[in-house]
Amino acid sequence: MEIIPAVDIIDGKCVRLTKGDFEKKVIYNDDPLEVAKSFEAIGIKRLHMVDLDGANWQPLKNVKTLENIAKNTSLIIDFGGGIKTVENVEAVFNAGAAMISIGSLAVKDPALFFQMISEFGAERFLPGADVLFKKIKIHGWKEETGIDLFDFINGIISKGINQIFCTDISKDGMMEGPSIPLYKEIISGFPSLHLIASGGISCYDDLIILKEIGCSGAIVGKAIYEEKITLQEIQDFIKNK
């Protein structure tokens, strides 16, 4: 299982939210590149970047931050937030992202999303399912869709995508542990899917449990920034995986 640190960006700064609430923003570092380099130094290979300005209905705003990290590290970056057009996709790939994480667009305009898959390749997209009580929410978790999580997964698998990250909104930023029963249900229902867990990861033991149940990756944010999981523990996990 791969540990994928989250770097959430607002106004070019590294931040974290709680349950997606922009009023509960904590700035952890003014220099996301410094943060990215600290991850690279301990053996991290991948980074999950989110343009929270874009996710909050604004146009893409933090592509320069992506470009800066891509140019100055060897990290494999998936980037999301505010991607609405094919031109946005091109801009993000040109800035150095290896993959694009898509959430709202895949739900609101599946035809456009599937066009992007056809044009750029399914392997370059990492759909995100942000869920509350197994129903998808979008646009920074502000808008309910009523769409069932498992119907959503069936739809993307049918288009050749075999990886997804899933965030249980009720767990995100709460430091109370990830949504293990939900992830077990997804893995059981879709055994060929590469599932990346996201939200609620609060300690080293959570990583061990996620690995044991079969997750292929874990996106970790707040636990790292608040040193509930240390860089040394991550390094040890990487060496022992």
pLDDT value, residue 180? 95
First-to-last C-alpha distance (Å) of the chain: 7
- Annotated active-site positions, please? 8, 130
Contact 42, 79 (CB under 8 A): no
pLDDT in tens, 88-97: 999 999 999 9
What residues have CB less than 8 Å from 151, skipping those under 6 apart? Answer: none
The Cα 129–Cα 118 span in angstroms is 21
Task: Answer whether residue 61 shows pLDDT above 90.
Answer: no
The residue segments making up the domain with residue 125 are: 2-240
Contact 150, 189 (CB under 8 A): yes
Which three-class secondary structure string do you get for 177-234? CCCHHHHHHHHHHCCCCEEEEECCCCCHHHHHHHHHHCCCEEEECHHHHCCCCCHHHH
pLDDT value, residue 140? 67
Q: What is the mean pLDDT of the chain?
A: 91
Task: Answer whether residue 237 shows pLDDT above 70.
Answer: yes
**Which whole number is the average pLDDT over 172-191?**
89
Which DSSP string do the residues of 94-110 spell out, in sequence order?
HTT-SEEEESHHHHH-H
53-62, 97-106, 110-119, 198-207: which has the minimum mean pLDDT? 53-62
Which DSSP string do the residues of 27-93 spell out, in sequence order?
EEES-HHHHHHHHHHTT--EEEEEEHHHHTTSPP--HHHHHHHHHH---EEEEESS--SHHHHHHHH
pLDDT value, residue 127? 96
The Cα 222–Cα 236 span in angstroms is 19
Q: Both tokens of residue 140?
A: 């920074």
Task: Give the residue with greater pLDDT, 145 vs 24.
Answer: 145
CATH of the domain at 209: 3.20.20.70
Amino acid at residue number 234: I
Task: Answer whether residue 107 shows pLDDT above 70.
Answer: yes
Q: Give the confidence band of 82 by pLDDT, cuts at 50, 70, 90.
A: confident
Q: Domain count of the chain?
A: 1
**Which whole number is the average pLDDT over 148-171?**
93
pLDDT in tens, 113-129: 999 999 999 999 999 99
Length of the chain: 241
